[in-house]
């Protein structure tokens, strides 16, 4: 639960605060909010209120949060927040690092002076942002980053050398340089949509539609069914933290509408010691969060937080997601927990093994299936022990994993398994009634089928084999099948006369049911991003949400869009979407592209690895896994190696040309990218183990356990491999035998930034304000850069005697800093050669052979190309920049065949030529 905050403010203290407010108000009284709108109604309302009413214990949290969100929205428009707002961030950070000012007990108690400082930082922040907003609308150049921008005269086309970029940062030494030329023109060649695993479906109650939002501020919308007009926005106020993005829960389930409350389940970061671990009860009358019950932490990379409930019971899958524990704990969901809806007390906790299917709740019974194909009917009442078989009403064994929710009607239970079989069971006994075996199931799918729909004697189920099946409920025979343009991941919608189906690529079809089967009435391509969530139908309205966090309502008569609503608060400028809320919980678009053999490879937060044509951006193949992909797909010959995080614990080896599975090995969640050398694969495990696998078979050659998660990418130098860990050590092993050589105390965790090597040295960032040049033989530090106040939690680059550092400045929202810089320093002594402001942050630079350095930014929406050598005066020239859909989180560019490939948090893999 979020702790309450108590203030002790004397009469004298209140007078001081009033004077502070009065002085600031007088300076701002002429500012016209209407003339300089931010694009967000709540931000603009608060902009006016801050200078008209006091900042108090009741409103300071929301004022600070909205100030931060406003700052990030300005960053998305290319605004340099500057020294004034950086000072505000630093001031605020002193009061809101990992824990706000804490003076004993469970409550936070602030003095008069503390509260005065809160008031000052709020008003200073809004003053600074008001001036930036005005500058943006009146003279955008006045608030943009200062660059030495020079025109490119007679550019030389890059060499088409086809040097592969098959590893994270291009090679096992992680240098970011392969000898390939990068692009010279600075133009977007193509974009490939990469979305979130957004499966929360619209819920229709009367003429109202409820749409969940994963925002930091907004958690639920109520909109009009016919028009999409907003009727209400349900919000919450996360506590002020230095790492606020990661400490704020995201709503990760479909809303459940009960008589008095709306229920949703949280997901996020920080494990069970954090606050992202609840089922939230929202009062339907007041719109306020009445209470929360502990449901256990769900890591945001799981992508979805399953929950079912009725007026009596709350039921949900459970496991321990605690990657910050010592030792770390992470696994798929293994248990089902039932709680009393009114009291929140636990009724029982039952282990069914690893599972990815959502429970189905009906009255006093819950149906659920697991990855081994076991389907259970569990009775909720009864005082049985946690391992008692008496809880099981019946169970059934299917031939293949059942990774989707079952369908239940009056007589039967229906579901599909991953071996291509659709089952019908007797509801009371669990006995098999019939089964249907589909020909040629899709081998690359983690979820072969959708949840079925039972309607008027027919069963409708979508498949990854690009088919909608219609089966007779009595016999299980095939009535018809309908071919689609892509895999079907969303449950179809059916009325008395029609069935509606959406394929992953956003194509939606209406099929009129006839005596002979069906007649296609219309087919529409809706949006660019993928559709995973279920379709909902009422009257002539068809609703669904896509992986770009848009909800759509189509007219069922003609398929035209009646309305579209962004479930993450935003506005449009030209063709670009500016978020005025941020997706809570952490950084989602983390995977790093690799490129080789004419293809570009990328992982997604939705649990897919894609191979796309490097020239055209057309999909060549995809493979689905059971969790988010944060690392780079690593290419070695005919193999692709990839790990997952947030769900299953398998590490995969795929065929580079088809995406078909070669082998998989149970290891752990994997956050970072693997490394490959001499046929051995080195894998950093979130569980704290570091692994060496045999590349041909996946057999574990050796492993070693550190105390905490190993998240950063391993480094290979000669016969040795190096792993960094959150336990504050860098480890050195013999790469073939696993013999432990040494460990080096980092004085900080090895996190998003990985060690690289050049000139026989290790260039070593630490998750904080430390960077070292380390001699790997003697473990001595040869130099540290003479740069103060920088955060080095990013992998650097190296080429030809230069180290390229990406740094972030200020906490901002934690995952979104205030400022960012890229530095070129001398590799022999760490002396500064040049600085570029605005690039980098949580994304690192790469180097082309044509004297260019390339990087994205965590604080702007641009991708940059600068001169590698600089001007000799501490500066370098900007050669070009490309506007993307949003910033870049932890992805890093790949250079291949004269082009750059980068994943940005606008939801696209971008190719720049």
- List per-block mean pLDDT (blocks of 10 residues) for the chain, which spans 913 residues: 29 33 45 93 96 90 96 98 94 63 48 80 95 97 93 77 94 97 95 96 98 98 98 92 92 98 97 95 95 97 97 98 94 97 97 97 98 98 87 97 98 98 98 97 98 98 98 98 98 98 98 96 96 97 98 98 98 96 97 98 98 98 98 98 96 98 97 98 98 98 97 97 97 98 95 96 93 96 92 96 96 93 98 97 96 97 97 96 97 97 98 97
The pLDDT value recorded for residue 31 is 76
Q: Which two tokens stand for residue 420?
A: 């291509």
Verdict on whether the full-model pTM lies above 0.85: yes
CA 415 to each of CA 30, 328, 364, 366, 459: distance values in angstroms, whole numbers, following the listed order:
64, 34, 20, 14, 10
Cβ-Cβ contacts under 8 Å for 559 (sequence gap 6 or more): 508, 510, 522, 523, 524
- The count of other CB atoms within 10 Å of the CB of residue 156 is 9
Provide the token pair at 521: 């009435």
Q: What confidence score (pLDDT) does residue 6 get?
A: 28
pLDDT value of position 113: 74
CA distances to 404, 767, 817, 893, 903 from 845, in Å: 41, 17, 17, 7, 14
The residues that bridge with 537 in the sheet, in sequence order, are 542
What does the pLDDT read at residue 109? 58
**Mind giving me the DSSP string for 497-547?**
SEEEEE-TTSEEEEEEEETTEEEEEEEEE--SS---SPPEEETTEEEEE-T
pLDDT at residue 248 in the model:
96
User: Can you state the percent helix, strand and coil of the chain, rounding each to 5?
Assistant: 10, 40, 50
Distance (Å) of CA 508 to CA 461, 490, 546: 15, 11, 12
User: What string of DSSP letters covers 667-735?
Assistant: -----S--EEETTEEEEE-TTSEEEEEETTT--EEEEEE-SS---SPPEEETTEEEEE-TTSEEEEEET
Give one word for 397, left, alpha or beta, with left for phi > 0 and alpha for psi -120 to 50.
beta
> What is the three-class DSSP state of 82?
helix
Tokens representing 587 are 């950084």
In sequence order, what are the beta bridge partners of 595?
Answer: 165, 600
Closest CA to 122 of 173, 46, 60: 60
DSSP 138: H
pLDDT at 98: 40
Integer angstrom CA distances of residue 560 from 523, 723, 733, 838:
10, 53, 60, 42
Give kind and range of the element (H or E) at residue 83.
Answer: helix 82-94
Q: Give the E-state strand segments of 841-893 in sequence order.
A: 846-848, 852-855, 862-867, 878-883
């Amino acid at each position: 639960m979020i702790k309450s905050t108590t203030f002790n403010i004397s009469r004298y203290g209140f007078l001081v605060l009033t004077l502070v407010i009065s002085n600031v108000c007088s300076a701002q009284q002429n500012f016209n909010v209407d003339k300089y709108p931010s694009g967000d109604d709540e931000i603009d309302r608060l902009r006016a209120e801050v200078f008209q009413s006091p900042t108090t214990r009741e409103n300071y949290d929301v004022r600070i949060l909205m100030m931060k969100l406003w700052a990030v929205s300005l960053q998305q428009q290319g605004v340099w927040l500057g020294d004034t707002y950086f000072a505000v961030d630093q001031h605020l950070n002193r009061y809101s690092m990992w824990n706000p000012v804490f003076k004993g007990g469970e409550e936070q108690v602030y003095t008069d002076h503390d509260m005065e400082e809160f008031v000052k930082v709020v008003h200073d922040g809004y003053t600074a942002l008001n001036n930036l907003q005005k500058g943006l609308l009146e003279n955008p150049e006045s608030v943009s980053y200062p660059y030495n921008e020079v025109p490119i005269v007679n550019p030389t086309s890059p060499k088409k050398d086809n040097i592969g970029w098959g590893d994270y940062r291009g090679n096992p030494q992680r240098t970011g340089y392969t000898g390939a030329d990068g692009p010279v023109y600075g133009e977007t060649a193509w974009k490939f949509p990469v979305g979130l695993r957004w499966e929360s479906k619209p819920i229709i109650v009367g003429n109202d539609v409820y749409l969940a939002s994963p925002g930091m501020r907004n958690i639920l919308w109520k909109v009009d069914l016919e028009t999409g007009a907003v009727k209400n926005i349900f919000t919450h106020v996360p506590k002020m933290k230095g790492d606020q993005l990661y400490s704020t829960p995201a709503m990760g389930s479909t809303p459940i509408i009960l008589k008095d409350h709306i229920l949703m389940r949280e997901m996020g970061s920080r494990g069970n010691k954090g606050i992202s671990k609840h089922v939230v009860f929202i009062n339907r009358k007041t719109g306020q969060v009445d209470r929360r019950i502990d449901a256990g932490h769900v890591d945001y990379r799981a992508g979805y937080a399953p929950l079912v409930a009725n007026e009596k019971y709350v039921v949900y899958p459970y496991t321990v997601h605690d990657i910050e524990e010592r030792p770390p704990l992470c696994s798929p969901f293994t248990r089902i927990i039932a709680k009393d809806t009114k009291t929140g007390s636990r009724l029982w906790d039952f282990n069914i093994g690893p599972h990815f299917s959502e429970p189905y709740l009906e009255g006093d019974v819950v149906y659920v299936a697991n990855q081994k194909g076991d389907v259970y009917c569990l009775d909720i009442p009864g005082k049985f022990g946690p391992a008692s078989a008496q809880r099981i009403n019946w169970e059934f064994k299917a031939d293949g994993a059942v990774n989707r929710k079952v369908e239940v009607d009056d007589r039967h239970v229906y579901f599909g398994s991953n071996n291509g079989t659709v089952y019908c069971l007797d509801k009371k006994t669990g006995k098999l009634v019939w089964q249907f075996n589909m020909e040629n199931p899709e081998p690359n799918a983690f979820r072969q089928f959708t949840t079925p729909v039972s309607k008027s004697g027919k069963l409708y189920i979508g498949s990854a084999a690009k088919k909608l099946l219609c089966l007779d409920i009595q016999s299980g025979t095939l009535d018809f099948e309908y071919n689609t343009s892509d895999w079907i991941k969303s449950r179809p919608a059916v009325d008395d006369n029609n069935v509606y189906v959406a394929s992953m690529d956003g194509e939606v079809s209406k099929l009129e049911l006839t005596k002979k089967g069906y007649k296609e009435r219309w087919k529409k391509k809706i949006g660019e991003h993928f559709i995973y969530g279920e379709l909902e139908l009422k009257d002539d309205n068809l609703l669904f949400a896509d992986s770009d966090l848009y909800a759509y309502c189509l007219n069922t008569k003609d398929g035209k869009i009646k309305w579209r609503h962004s479930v993450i608060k935003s506005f449009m400028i030209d063709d670009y979407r500016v978020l005025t809320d941020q997706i809570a919980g952490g950084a989602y678009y983390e995977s790093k592209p690799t490129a080789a053999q004419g293809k570009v490879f990328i992982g997604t937060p939705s649990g897919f690895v894609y191979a796309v044509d490097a020239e055209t951006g057309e999909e060549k193949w995809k493979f689905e896994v059971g969790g988010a992909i944060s690392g780079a797909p690593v290419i070695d010959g005919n193999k692709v190696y990839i790990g997952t995080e947030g769900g299953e614990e398998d590490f995969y080896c795929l065929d580079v040309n088809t995406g078909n599975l070669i082998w998989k090995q149970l290891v752990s969640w994997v956050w970072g990218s693997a490394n490959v050398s001499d046929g051995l694969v080195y894998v950093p495990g979130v569980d704290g183990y570091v692994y060496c696998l045999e590349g041909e078979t996946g057999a574990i050659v050796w492993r070693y356990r550190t105390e905490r998660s190993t998240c950063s990418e391993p480094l290979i130098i000669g016969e040795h491999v190096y792993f960094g860990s959150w336990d504050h050590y860098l480890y050195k092993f013999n790469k073939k035998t696993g013999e432990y050589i040494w460990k080096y105390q980092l004085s900080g965790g090895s996190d998003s930034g990985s060690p690289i090597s050049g000139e026989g040295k290790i260039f070593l960032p630490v998750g904080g304000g430390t960077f070292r040049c380390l001699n790997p033989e003697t473990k001595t530090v040869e130099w540290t850069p003479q740069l103060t106040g920088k955060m080095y939690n990013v992998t650097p680059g190296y080429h030809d005697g230069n180290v390229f550092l990406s740094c972030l400045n200020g906490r901002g929202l934690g995952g979104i800093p205030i400022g960012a810089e890229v530095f070129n320093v001398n590799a022999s002594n760490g002396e500064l050669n040049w600085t570029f402001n605005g690039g980098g942050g949580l994304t690192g630079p790469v180097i082309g052979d044509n004297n260019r350095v390339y990087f994205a930014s965590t604080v702007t929406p641009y991708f940059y190309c600068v001169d590698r050598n600089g001007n000799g005066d501490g500066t370098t020239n900007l050669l070009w920049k490309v506007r993307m859909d949003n910033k870049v989180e932890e992805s890093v560019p790949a250079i291949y065949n004269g082009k750059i490939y980068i994943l940005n948090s606008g939801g696209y893999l971008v190719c720049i030529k």
